[in-house]
Structure 1
Amino acid sequence: MADYLTGYYLWIKALHIIFVMSWMAGMLYLPRLYVYHAQSKPGSELSETLKIMERRLLRGIINPAMIASFIFGGLLLMVPGVLVSPLGWLHVKLLFVLLLSAYHGFLARWRKDFERDQNQRSHTFYRMINEIPAVFMIIIVIMVVIKPF
């Protein structure tokens, strides 16, 4: 199987990058919707519209993109010659991917709070947490491209 993957390495890598970009786009946009939702009155037309947008973004784009990112990332790790020592950069990358996945879980949980009109957080909170995926993305890209250790 590993030798088979070698022939498709560039395709696997391209698809991994495409799905990571899609995942990140959603992860950056969803908290922005939460900012507007936290400022809207529960039950209002705006609130109900945002609920639909948030659900579709999470279920239709963010979740599938994350799953595809994991699949193609896992396939990349299986291609012979991709992993060469030292691998400290990979451990840091995977740690931040894990943290990004946890953040994803929090976003999904907060969407359910909005869906039930039970949000307890301010728009300022969502503005601040909106920066988290960008910081994680910067660290991950530096690890993959620069491989500092």
Structure 2
Amino acid sequence: MDLTDLLYTLYPYAKSLHIMAVISWMAGLFYLPRLFVYHVEQAEKVQECKPVFLVMEDKLLRVIMRPASVVTWLAGLFMVITPGIVDWSTLWPYTKGVSVIAMTWFHHWLIYRHKDFERGRNKLTGRQYRMMNEVPTVLMVVIVVSVIFKF
């Protein structure tokens, strides 16, 4: 069995793993900004809430989002190197790629916001976090439309 045959054989497994990891990663990307909203709005009222929010945010980042993002990237790159899967003469792989990079940037932006909370330096309001919560939704729409319609 040559490398191309191996890639084709493993492709359905990589695709399945990719989809499961994306679902997990997206769940975290949707939920963490919402946790930040509650952190800002509730922890100001009840001081005992702050450590609880910090633990929840940290676990979401480290236990769910980080591994899911790594698996998403690795499985995605595996699919990209499988011959014949991506038509590089079309626009969709580039719109998806840029959107995935933007999603990764957003993930890292969330990590820095969590560090701000840990250091007591958060400057953003609940409303600002609500607005930022729309970023992964917009990127998800671009990614899904790109992959399904392959324009």
TM-score normalized with structure 1 length: 0.95
RMSD value, Cα: 1.4
Q: Are residues 89 and 45 of structure 1, via their aligned partners in 2, closer, same or farther at CA, if it must alter by over 3 Å? A: same
Which residue number corresponds to residue 18 of structure 1? 20
Which residue number corresponds to residue 141 of structure 2? 138
Q: Are residues 85 and 109 of structure 1, via their aligned partners in 2, closer, same or farther at CA, if it must alter by over 3 Å? A: closer
Which residue number corresponds to residue 87 of structure 2? 84
Which residue number corresponds to residue 44 of structure 1? 47
Following superposition, the deviation at residue 46 of structure 1 comes to 0.9
Alignment of 1:105-144 (within 5 A): 105-144=108-147
Give the 3-state SS of the residue equivalent to 1:83 in structure 2.
coil
Fraction of identical pairs, as percent:
38
Which residue number corresponds to residue 99 of structure 2? 96
Letter in 1 for 2:39: H
Following superposition, the deviation at residue 86 of structure 1 comes to 2.6
Following superposition, the deviation at residue 42 of structure 1 comes to 8.6
List runs of 5+ in structure 1 lacking aligned partners.
none
Letter in 2 for 1:72: A
Following superposition, the deviation at residue 78 of structure 1 comes to 1.3
Letter in 2 for 1:28: F
Tell which deviates more after alignment, 41-50 or 104-113.
Answer: 41-50
Q: Conserved in 1, the CA contact under 8 Å of 2:24 and 2:68?
A: yes
List runs of 5+ in structure 2 lacking aligned partners.
none
Q: Are residues 85 and 102 of structure 1, via their aligned partners in 2, closer, same or farther at CA, if it must alter by over 3 Å? A: closer
Q: Which runs of 4+ in 1 moved over 2 A?
A: 84-87
Aligned partners of 1:7 and 1:102: how far apart in 2?
32
Post-superposition Cα deviations, 1:10-34, rounded to whole Å, max 9, x if no partner, equal: 1110100100111000000000000
Which residue number corresponds to residue 35 of structure 2? 33
Following superposition, the deviation at residue 103 of structure 1 comes to 0.7
Count of residues paired in the alignment: 148
Q: Conserved in 1, the CA contact under 8 Å of 2:87 and 2:93?
A: no
Q: Are residues 85 and 103 of structure 1, via their aligned partners in 2, closer, same or farther at CA, if it must alter by over 3 Å? A: closer
Q: Are residues 28 and 133 of structure 1, via their aligned partners in 2, closer, same or farther at CA, if it must alter by over 3 Å? A: same
